[in-house]
Amino acid sequence: MAIRLRGHHLLCLLGYRGMGYSADFCTNMTAIYETLRTEPDSVVELVTGPDDICRAYPPDELNHCSGTVHQLDDAVLAKLGFKTGESLSWREVCDRISQEVVPADIGHLCTSCPWQSYGVCQEGVQYIAEGRPLPAVGNLQ
């Protein structure tokens, strides 16, 4: 079964290092990250709005799954030349990221994201650009 992802999460996954909004959120995101990392031929379906990562967002916290974050989804998909409704492998996603995105783009695209200042997303884009594997979560270098 395809992993359903919204546009901006294609980049968020590159910077995922085990940090998140709650234990349940991290358990779910780690499972998705590790599946994609270890099985890059896994199929990703690009969707509009809440996806398989959003579904584990803490239900008692104000979420940002809708609203202006849609503009970020659109901007990332446009940058990558993808459209919602497409299905492709994670390997193809990474290949396109390596062609179209440089680390500094995170600063241009993700202006409102609190995670941006950690630098891990820029680092993740750099890994992909250099053809290096993403690190296992819990096995930081």
Q: Which residues of 83-93 are buried (b: 16+ CB within 10 A; e: fewer)?
A: eeeeeebbebb
For ligand SF4, the closer CB: 1 or 76: 76
For ligand SF4, the closer CB: 110 or 128: 110
Question: What's the min distance (Å) between Cβ of 90 and ligand SF4?
Answer: 16
Establish if 97 lies at the interface with ligand SF4 (CB under 6 A).
Answer: no
* Separation of alpha carbons 74 and 80, rounded Å: 10
Instruction: Identify residue 123 by its one-letter amino acid code.
Output: E
Establish if 12 lies at the interface with ligand SF4 (CB under 6 A).
Answer: yes
- Give the N- to C-terminal CA distance of the chain in Å, as an integer: 31
Establish if 3 lies at the interface with ligand SF4 (CB under 6 A).
Answer: no
Write each residue from 109 to 128 as x if it is in contact with ligand SF4 (CB under 6 A), else as -, in one continuous string: -x--x-xx----x-------
Q: Are 14 and 128 in contact (CB under 8 A)?
A: yes
